[in-house]
């Protein structure tokens, strides 16, 4: 799985093959997250930091276009519906 990338990472970093493979798997899992799962996760994280919903949803809106595969543009209402149903 991704042998060329594992080889590249082991040549260009101090990572072992096992560590490089774990990093690749973690990155792929991160970017495999659906937009809905991302919104829910970020909402929980930002809420745990003490932010209020108005700021949280604005931050999520600002972050979404920079995801590896940007989801369709979502409104504040759509974000709230994802989180609260």
Q: Express each pLDDT in 3-56 by its tens digit.
A: 999 999 999 999 999 999 999 999 888 888 888 999 999 999 999 999 999 999
pLDDT on residue 82: 92
| CA gap 74, 82 in Å, rounded | 10
* DSSP for the chain, written as a single string: --HHHHHHHHHHSS--HHHHHHHHHHHHHHHTS-HHHHHHHHHHHHHHTT--HHHHHHHHHHHGGGSSSPPPP--HHHHHHHHH-
Where do the domains of the chain lie? 1-32, 35-84
Burial of 78 (0-12, 13-18, 19+ CB in 10 A): middle
């Amino acid at each position: 799985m991704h042998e060329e990338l594992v080889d590249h990472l082991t040549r260009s970093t101090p990572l072992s093959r096992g560590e490089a493979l774990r990093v690749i798997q973690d990155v792929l899992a991160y970017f495999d997250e659906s937009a809905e799962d991302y919104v829910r996760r970020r909402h929980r994280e930002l809420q745990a930091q003490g932010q209020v919903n108005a700021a949280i949803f604005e931050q999520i809106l600002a972050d979404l276009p920079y995801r590896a595969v940007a989801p369709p543009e979502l409104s504040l209402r759509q974000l709230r519906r994802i989180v609260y149903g």
